[in-house]
Amino acid sequence: MNVAVVGTGYVGLVVGACLAETGNQVACADVDEAKIAALRQSLMPIHEPGLEPLVSHNQRQGRLRFTTDVAEAVRASDIVFIAVGTPPDEDGSADLQHVLAVARTIGQNMDRPKIVITKSTVPVGTAERVRAEIVKHTSTPFHVCSNPEFLKEGAAVEDFMKPDRVVVGVDSDEAAKVVAELYAPFLRTGNPLIFMDIPSAEITKYAANAMLATRISFMNQIARLCEAVGADVSLVRRGIGTDRRVGPAFLFPGPGYGGSCFPKDVKALIRTAEDRGVSLDILRAVEAANDCQKRVLFEKLRRHFDGRLRGRTLAVWGLAFKADTDDVRESPALALIEALLEAGAAVRVHDPAAAATARRYLDGRVECAEHAYGALEGAEALAVVTEWREYRSPDFHQIKRLLSRPLIVDGRNLYDPEKLARLGFTYDSIGRSLACASW
């Protein structure tokens, strides 16, 4: 099939590369000339495992191309994915200006019937707004579908190539048949392609992310209770997660959720409900709990130094909101760093992939080390914020030698408290105490 994907961010780039991999002719379009020029050289604008080989291979095979001419890409396609950003407005609602601008371009270049698929995360009613915008500029018949993405940053290629389900809101049987054919190569193992009405598909995306955000925030609050009563959240998590009604995913306590999806989507769902006179008190509590959780590591460090952080040098491992990505949007690490700087501390940081993307947020106010151990020398504590694999089994003897004080505050519960205690560290994690062994 001839496919256009408008937008080359996390979603658009993954969608385009994966559809090309299954034999489709794909044009990825974006107005950012520098990004398109880099992509033509297979230089990725994001850190996403497995993406660069797909882009390189499919460009060489002639199935994937990148262009700044959105109108031409639309004209050359039978299916158009809208995958541009929907950043939050000041009131938390999704900003649809870019989505509607693409719809306008589609309408102006509708030279034959097409299927238009909203892939961006958009509030209920957006597909109809897209339809209305296209209709203003064409009398050619077309279909609109809503196909929300469920890609995890750091595993987006795997999630697209082997989805646990594909959700599509459709307006006709004809559109459903075409979409089913497009996705058939990804569903050979029998995972479901779920067709539904368009509003239900639009809500499904927000509801899924809000549910996962709720699980994370719930477990973070249970972790706080564990610390207060002397329990071990690692054992509590196992006890909960083995209940088939609950399951183990998204029950790891940590420094709060971040990234491009959960914070934005929780806000947008709350705003959508408010606009329709529905109160989502649970999600307001989730949002408040997460804001509070992002201060947990700072509060732990402040307690260890009796509130006196001014003039101290502290090391932070991890800037990305999660491992295997360079995305620092709403990252708990940035919240920690801002609090430390405000308290007068000097901060040294390391991240395997996100240092470059974090620079525009940190603005030269921290020292960025090229290697993880380079952030430690002379620092009075190490805070671990992102669960990168290279942080999971470090050389603790070297860490102890480099730190001026053997203090580790671990926001991801990567290490064994008993082992760290035997090595002479003060080790403070989430929802566990030194008195609680892990087994």
Radius of gyration of the chain, Cα coordinates, nearest whole angstrom: 23
Residue 159: both structure tokens together: 């999630």
Residue 18: both structure tokens together: 């994966």
3-state class of 14 per DSSP? helix
- Write down the pTM of the prediction: 0.89
Domains, the chain, in order of start with CATH, read 2-195 (3.40.50.720), 214-428 (3.40.50.720)
Residue 387: both structure tokens together: 């669960």
226 an active-site residue? no
Sheet containing strand 2-6, edge to edge, reads 64-67, 25-29, 2-6, 79-82, 114-118, 142-146, 166-169, 193-196
pLDDT digits (tens, 9 = 90+) for 118-163: 998 888 899 999 999 999 999 999 999 999 999 999 999 999 999 9
Give CA–CA dist 332/177, Å, rounded.
43
Is 1 or 95 the better-scoring residue by pLDDT?
1
261, 292, 368, 436: which one is catalytic? 261
Give CA–CA dist 323/331, Å, rounded.
11
Task: Single out the residue of 410, 384, 380 nearest to residue 305, CA to CA.
Answer: 380
pLDDT at 89: 75
Task: Calculate the CA dihedral of residues 220, 225, 230, 236 and round it to 10 degrees.
Answer: -50
pLDDT at 260: 85
Give CA–CA dist 328/362, Å, rounded.
11
Residue 345 CB partners (closer than 8 Å, separation 6+): 309, 310, 311, 312, 313, 314
3-state class of 105 per DSSP? helix
Listed in order, strand segments (DSSP E) in 60-165 are: 64-67, 79-82, 114-118, 142-146
pLDDT digits (tens, 9 = 90+) for 41-51: 999 999 999 99
Residue 403 · residue 379 · CB < 8 Å: yes
Q: Is 181 exposed, middle or buried, given 0-12, 13-18 or 19+ CB atoms closer than 10 A? A: exposed
DSSP state of 94: B
Residue 10 · residue 324 · CB < 8 Å: no
CA distances from 284 to 35, 123, 210, 268, 269 (A): 37, 17, 11, 11, 10
pLDDT band at 95 (very low <50, low <70, confident <90, very high): confident
Residue 68: both structure tokens together: 């700044």
Q: Which residue has the tokens 């408010």?
A: 274
Q: What percent of the chain has pLDDT over 70?
A: 98
pLDDT digits (tens, 9 = 90+) for 41-83: 999 999 999 999 999 999 999 999 999 999 999 999 999 999 9
